A and B are shown apart, each in its own frame.
Chain A
Amino acid sequence: MLFGRYKKNPIKIADKQVKDWKYATCGYCSTGCAIEIGVNEAGKPVASRGVGGADVNRGKLCVKGIFEHELFTSAGRGDQPKMRNEFHEDYQETTWDTALDRVHKEIRSIQEKHGPDSFAILSTGQLLTEEFYTLGKLTRGLIGTNTYDGNTTLCMASAVSGYKRSFGSDGPPGCYEDFEHTDLLIAWGSNLPEQHPIIYWRMKEAQEKRGFPLIVIDPRVTMYAQMADIHLPITPGTDIVLQNAMLNVIFAEGLEDKDYIEANTNGLDELKAEVANYDPITAAKICGIDEGTIRVVARLYAKAGAAMSIWTMGINQSTHGSDGVVGINNLSLCTGNIGKPGGTSLSITGQCNAMGTREWSSCSGLPGYRLLEVPENREEIGQFWNVDPEFFPKKRGLVHTDIYPAIETGQVKGLWLIATNPMSSMPNTERIRKTLEKLDFLVVQDSYADVETTQYAHMYLPAATWAEKEGCFTNTERRVNIVRKVTDAPGNSQSDLWIFNEVAKRFNAENGDAVNFPEKSADIFLEMGELSKGRLVNISGMNHDLIEKQRGIQWPYTKEQADAGEIPPQGGKRLYTESTTFSYPDKRAKLIPLPFINNNEVPDEEYPFWLNTGRLVEHFHGRTKTGKVANNNKYSPTPFMEINPDAAQALGIQHGEYVRVISRRSDAVVMAQCTDRVSKNAVFIPFHFHDCANRLTLGLLDPYSRQPAYKQQAIRLEPISDQKAAALLNKESRKF
Chain B
Amino acid sequence: MFKVRSDEPQYAKLWDTETKDTNRYGLNIETTPEGSDLRDKSLNINNDDGIGDNPNRYKQHGFFFNADNCIACHACEAACSEKNDVPSHISFRSVGFVEGGSYPAYQRMNISMACNHCDDPVCLKGCPTRAYTKFAEYGAVLQDPDICFGCGYCTWVCPYNAPQLDPVQGEVSKCNMCVDRLEVGLKPACVASCLGNALDFGVIENTPEGRTQTKVDIPGFPRTDITHPNIRFQQTRSMQREVTRTDSIPVKYHKNDEKEGRYLPVVDKKHGVKKHWNWGKIFHSHENAHVVFTLSAQAVMGVFLFFFISAFLASSPINAIANSNAYLPILCIIVGLIGYGLFKLNMHLGKPHRFYRGFNNLRHSPLSREIAGVSLFFGALAALTFFSFFSGSVINVIQFLLAFTAMIGLVLGSYYMYKLYRIPARPYWNHWQTGTTFYGTMLSLGGVLLGLLSLPFLSNTLALSKVLSAIVLAGLAIETIGLIAHRRYLTSGEGEAGAAHYEQTTTFGKVYLLRNILLGVNIVTAVTLFNIGIDGLYSSIFASLLVISTLTMAYLGRILFYVLVIPTTMPGAFFWKNKGFVEHARETGLADMPQMGVAYEHHHPFKVGELMQTIKENSLKDMVGHMKRILSGG
Contact = CB atoms under 8 A, between A and B. Distances in A.
A10 B197 contact: no
B153 interface: no
B590 interface: yes
Interface stretch (A58-66, A110-118, A155-163, A536-544): A58-66
Contacts of A676: 99-103, 106
25 contacts: A7-B629, A11-B176, A12-B45, A13-B45, A62-B73, A197-B71, A197-B75, A200-B73, A205-B197, A221-B104, A223-B72, A225-B104, A226-B107, A617-B73, A631-B88, A634-B575, A634-B597, A634-B598, A637-B593, A640-B574, A677-B99, A728-B588, A731-B588, A731-B590, A734-B590
Contacts of A204: 69, 195-197
Contacts of A635: 74, 573, 575-576, 597
A4 B144 contact: no
A456 B256 CA distance: 61
Nearest to A635: B576
Interface of A: 1-16, 47-48, 51-53, 58-63, 66-67, 193-194, 197-198, 200-201, 204-205, 208, 221, 223-227, 231, 233, 617-618, 627-638, 640, 644, 655-656, 673, 675-680, 724, 727-728, 731, 734, 736
Interface stretch (B127-135, B375-383, B483-491, B553-561): B127-135
A8 to B, nearest CB: 6
Nearest to B360: A5
A677 B193 CA distance: 27
A24 to B, nearest CB: 16
Contacts of A736: 593, 595
Nearest to B587: A727
B46 A11 contact: yes
Contacts of B505: none
B99 A633 contact: no
Interface in B156-208: 176, 178-180, 192-193, 195-197
Ordered nearest first, which 4 A-B pairs have the shortest CB separation?
A634-B597, A630-B88, A52-B7, A53-B7
B31 A1 contact: yes
Contact of B134 (A1, A225, A617): A1
B7 A13 contact: no
B324 interface: no
Contacts of A680: 103
Contacts of A675: 99, 106, 108, 246
B333 interface: no
B474 interface: no
A231 B595 contact: no
B144 A627 contact: no
Contacts, number: 234
A655 B269 CA distance: 12
Contacts of B576: 634-635
Contact of A2 (B104, B124, B193, B573): B124
Contacts of A59: 7-9, 11-12, 192
B195 A11 contact: no
B575 to A, nearest CB: 6
Q: How large is the interface on B (under 10, 10 to 19, 20 to 34, 35 or more residues)?
A: 35 or more
A51 B7 contact: yes
Contact of A677 (B108, B133, B597): B108
Contacts of B575: 634-638, 640
A11 to B, nearest CB: 5
Contacts of A11: 43-46, 142, 144, 176, 179
Contact of B176 (A5, A13, A644): A13
Given A1-B119, A13-B46, A233 B7 contact: no
B168 to A, nearest CB: 12
A233 B106 CA distance: 11
Contacts of A52: 5-9
A4 B134 contact: yes
- Max count, chain B CB within 10 A of own CB: residue among A3, A12, A628, A680: A3
B625 to A, nearest CB: 8
A627 B597 CA distance: 11
Contacts of A224: 71
Interface string B205-223: 0000010000000000000
B234 interface: no
B588 A14 contact: no
B133 A5 contact: yes
B628 to A, nearest CB: 10
Contact of A673 (B101, B130, B574, B596): B574
Give the interface SS of chain A, mostly helix, strand, loop or mixed: loop
A593 B585 CA distance: 53
Nearest to B136: A3
B270 interface: yes
- Max count, chain B CB within 10 A of own CB: residue among A13, A16, A680, A736: A13
Nearest to A640: B574
A69 to B, nearest CB: 9
Contacts of B602: none
Nearest to B45: A11
Interface string B69-96: 1011111011101111100110000000
B125 A12 contact: no
Given A4-B133, A9-B146, A63 B74 contact: yes
A62 B108 CA distance: 21
Contacts of B193: 60-61, 66
B459 interface: no
Interface in B240-291: 246, 248, 270
B401 interface: no
B195 A62 contact: yes
B594 interface: yes
Given A59-B192, A62-B195, A633 B596 contact: yes
Contacts of B541: none
B27 interface: yes
Contacts of B197: 201, 204-205, 208
B50 interface: no
A18 to B, nearest CB: 9
Nearest to A678: B103
Given A59-B8, A630-B594, A221 B84 contact: no
Given A193-B73, A630-B88, A630-B595, A12 B82 contact: no
Given A1-B31, A59-B9, A66-B82, A13 B180 contact: yes
A173 to B, nearest CB: 26
Contacts of A193: 71-73, 195-196
B88 A231 contact: no
Interface in B104-143: 104, 106-108, 110, 119-121, 124-125, 130, 132-136, 142
Contacts of B196: 193, 200-201, 204
A3 B119 CA distance: 10
A5 B130 contact: yes
B589 interface: yes
Nearest to A36: B5
Interface in B590-634: 590, 593-598, 629, 633-634
Contacts of A62: 73, 75, 195
Given A9-B147, A11-B46, A12-B46, 14 more contacts: A1-B27, A13-B46, A58-B9, A63-B78, A193-B195, A197-B71, A197-B75, A221-B106, A223-B71, A634-B597, A676-B106, A677-B103, A728-B588, A731-B589
B520 interface: no
A326 B104 CA distance: 28
B108 A223 contact: yes
B492 interface: no
B144 A9 contact: yes
A65 to B, nearest CB: 9
Given A4-B134, A201-B195, A617-B73, A634 B104 contact: no
B584 interface: yes
Contacts of B69: 204
B103 A655 contact: no
B617 to A, nearest CB: 14
Nearest to B32: A1
B38 interface: yes
